Copies of this chain bind each other. A is one copy, B any other.
Amino acid sequence: METVSDWASHGGRQIVCRHGSEATGGEMTFAVFLPPAAKTEPCPVLWYLSGLTCTHANVMEKGEYRRAAAEAGVIVVCPDTSPRGDAADDPAYDLGQGAGFYLDATQAPWAGRYNMKRYVTEELPALVGAEFPADMDRQGIFGHSMGGHGALTLALSLRGRFRSVSAFAPIVAPSLVPWGEKAFGAYLGPERAAWRRHDAVALIEDGARVDEILVDQGEADNFLERELRPELLEAACRDAGIALTLRRQPGYDHSYYFISTFMADHVRFHAERLTK
């Protein structure tokens, strides 16, 4: 693992690392923020999964998570959203590089390198646990849009791994919306039964559970009705007895100006569950 950057910030350190990845067959870059408390003790780890087109850098630069994470004593890890370099790609913004959808692809040309589920749940946690003062028994996960989908599906399918899960404007039912149908068709093939293991609403319908979920959703989000459809998560959680707090935020769109507004709330939500 190579340190690309290491900035003092908010009393802690904002670090960018690069490493050779077996899961994705190439070099991967991620960001990790160490709060001041990490100087003296292992700290819980909060995973932030980003949305379409993002790298590790978008939320690192624009997410405004450091003050709250420093105050709470939480490490924040921000992975990339897909393999890079010579990995297969597609000209569209919503397929290929920048659009890994946090699953392990089974279809050509994506299979073999588009293993973002394995990357963010196995390979990168092992690296983070080995390289940083991280208490891997206390992990939370959140994300935005495609990354909200990732946070929800990984928390639901890896029961017990994450003590807390939240999302900003998540894709909650990818099997039913254009972004997900396109990506899942490409990565997983036409057999829709395989899609359900990567669809938060379907996972809940099929019996997967978490205790509670916090979601913020802007009401002026251009993708709300076509791609995000939080009402489907609401219905699934109601039927399953999952405590969903869905906050519809008037006037807010899909941007980092929305994410950063509610970032501190989310970091504190996780910290309360990770540090008690």
Interface residues of A (CB under 8 A from B): 7-11, 14, 61-62, 64, 66-67, 218, 220, 249, 251-253, 255-258, 260-261, 264
Interface of A: prevailing SS = mixed
Q: How far is the CB of A145 from chain B (nearest CB, A)?
A: 16
Could you say which residues of chain B place their CB within 8 Å of the CB of A253? 7-8
Knowing A14-B257, A61-B62, A62-B62, the reply to whether A67 touches B9 (Cβ < 8 A) is no
In the bound complex, CA of A212 to CA of B64 (Å): 30
Could you say which residues of chain B place their CB within 8 Å of the CB of A64? 64, 67, 260
In the bound complex, CA of A249 to CA of B67 (Å): 16
Does A7 lie within 8 Å of B255, measured CB to CB?
Answer: yes
In the bound complex, CA of A220 to CA of B249 (Å): 40
Q: Which of B9, B62, B257 contacts A261 (CB 8 A)?
A: B9
Could you say which residues of chain B place their CB within 8 Å of the CB of A7? 253, 255, 257-258
Does B9 lie within 8 Å of A257, measured CB to CB?
Answer: yes
Does A8 lie within 8 Å of B67, measured CB to CB?
Answer: no
Residue of B nearest to A252 (CB): B8
In the bound complex, CA of A47 to CA of B25 (Å): 48
The 9 closest A-B CB pairs, nearest first, are A9-B257, A7-B257, A8-B251, A8-B252, A10-B261, A64-B64, A61-B62, A9-B261, A14-B257
In the bound complex, CA of A270 to CA of B251 (Å): 28
Does B8 lie within 8 Å of A258, measured CB to CB?
Answer: yes
In the bound complex, CA of A162 to CA of B11 (Å): 31
What are 19 A-B pairs with beta-carbon distances under 8 A?
A: A7-B255, A7-B257, A8-B218, A8-B258, A8-B261, A9-B252, A9-B258, A9-B260, A9-B261, A10-B261, A11-B261, A14-B257, A61-B61, A62-B62, A64-B64, A64-B260, A66-B257, A66-B260, A66-B261
In the bound complex, CA of A9 to CA of B66 (Å): 17
Given contacts A66-B257, A66-B260, 15 further A-B contacts (CB under 8 A): A7-B253, A7-B257, A7-B258, A8-B220, A8-B249, A8-B252, A8-B257, A8-B258, A9-B252, A9-B260, A10-B260, A10-B261, A61-B62, A62-B62, A64-B260
